[in-house]
C-alpha cells in the first residue's frame, strides 16, 4: 500500500471490507440484532428463524461489514466452520434468559475456540448477552461466568448486555468489534 493509499484510509475515505460471523443457538436473537442494524426504513417487523444462513451489510468506523447470520438450529451448526477461515470477527449471541441451554452455548463456543481455523488467529469475538429485558435473565457477568469467558486468553473479546429488539447495547458492541477488527488487521500487516 502506497503513501497516498494509507493517507486516504487514514482520512476514512476508503472503507475496508470485513466478514463477520453471527452465531449462537437458535432463538438467541441473531437475526433480530442484524435487523436492528439495518436502516430504519428497511427494518422488518417479522423475523423468521434462519435456515442455513443469510447475509446482511452494515458500516461502522470505516469498515464495511458483511455479516453472515448463521442458523443456530443444531442440524445447521456444522455449517459455521465453513466460514471460519475468511472471518475477521465473530459475534456470538446468547439468550441470557435461557438458563437451561447456556451449557449448550458453552459447548458450541468451546468447539469454535479449538477449531484449526480459529485457534491460531486473534479473531475478535463480541458476545451479546441478549434479551436482558426479560425478567430473571442472567447479567453479562453471569453469562460470562456460565460460558467460561475468563479462560479465553489468546483472543480479544468483549461482552455486552443487549436487547436486539430496541437496540440497547448494540451500538456499543459493534463499535468495540470495529475497533478490535481494525487493530487485528493492522497487527497482521
Enclosing H/E stretch for 143: helix 140-147
Q: Is 168 exposed, middle or buried (0-12, 13-18, 19+ CB in 10 A)?
A: middle
Q: Is 23 exposed, middle or buried (0-12, 13-18, 19+ CB in 10 A)?
A: buried
Distances in Å between the Cα of 153 and the Cα atoms of 46, 51, 106, 150, 156 are: 39, 33, 16, 7, 8
Identify whether 187 is a catalytic site residue. no
Of residues 43, 73, 111, 187, which has the active-site annotation? 73
Q: 144 Cβ partners below 8 Å, 6+ apart?
A: 127, 129, 150, 159
- Active-site residues, by number, are 73
Amino acid at each position: 500500500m502506497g503513501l497516498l493509499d494509507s493517507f486516504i484510509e487514514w482520512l476514512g475515505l476508503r472503507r475496508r471490507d470485513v466478514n463477520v460471523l453471527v452465531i449462537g443457538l437458535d432463538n438467541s436473537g441473531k437475526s433480530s440484532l442484524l435487523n436492528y442494524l439495518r436502516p430504519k426504513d428497511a427494518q422488518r417487523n417479522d423475523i423468521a428463524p434462519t435456515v442455513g444462513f443469510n447475509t446482511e451489510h452494515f458500516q461502522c468506523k470505516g469498515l464495511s461489514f458483511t455479516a453472515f447470520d448463521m442458523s443456530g438450529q443444531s442440524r445447521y451448526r456444522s455449517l459455521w466452520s465453513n466460514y471460519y477461515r475468511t472471518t475477521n470477527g465473530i459475534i456470538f449471541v446468547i439468550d441470557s434468559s435461557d438458563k437451561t441451554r447456556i451449557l449448550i452455548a458453552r459447548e458450541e463456543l468451546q468447539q469454535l475456540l479449538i477449531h484449526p481455523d480459529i485457534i491460531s488467529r486473534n479473531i475478535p469475538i463480541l458476545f451479546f448477552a441478549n434479551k436482558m429485558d426479560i425478567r430473571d435473565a442472567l447479567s453479562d457477568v453471569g453469562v460470562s461466568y456460565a460460558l467460561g469467558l475468563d479462560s479465553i486468553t489468546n483472543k480479544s473479546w468483549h461482552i455486552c448486555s443487549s436487547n436486539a429488539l430496541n437496540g440497547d447495547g448494540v451500538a456499543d458492541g459493534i463499535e468495540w468489534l470495529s475497533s478490535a477488527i481494525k487493530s487485528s488487521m493492522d497487527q497482521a500487516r
